[in-house]
Structure 1
């Protein structure tokens, strides 16, 4: 999807969001080079507090 965003839409940055309970997802995004930049409070299905963590990946353009 990152390649598609860059090649088709000339994206210079990709944003994704992941809930704090999704540890596997957060570790994967970090491994791919995404950096967290914001946290938003949300509620899960049971009404408990949860954190939605927003990540971004700047796209390098070596041209």
Structure 2
């Protein structure tokens, strides 16, 4: 599926599309969740929430 289609479906509330986007961006979210060489699970969860909010607000 094309990224744009996936994004549009996620914006429309499709949970499967949200899941696929999270899988796509998981490496970046994990990388940004490491603070001083230690993985911060709370930060990872917050980044996931922010990511999903951004997907909803993103204008195409």
Higher helix residue share? 2
TM-score (norm 2): 0.24
TM-score (norm 1): 0.23
Higher strand residue share? 1
Q: Structure with the greater relative contact order (CA < 8 A, sep ≥ 6): 1 or 2? A: 1
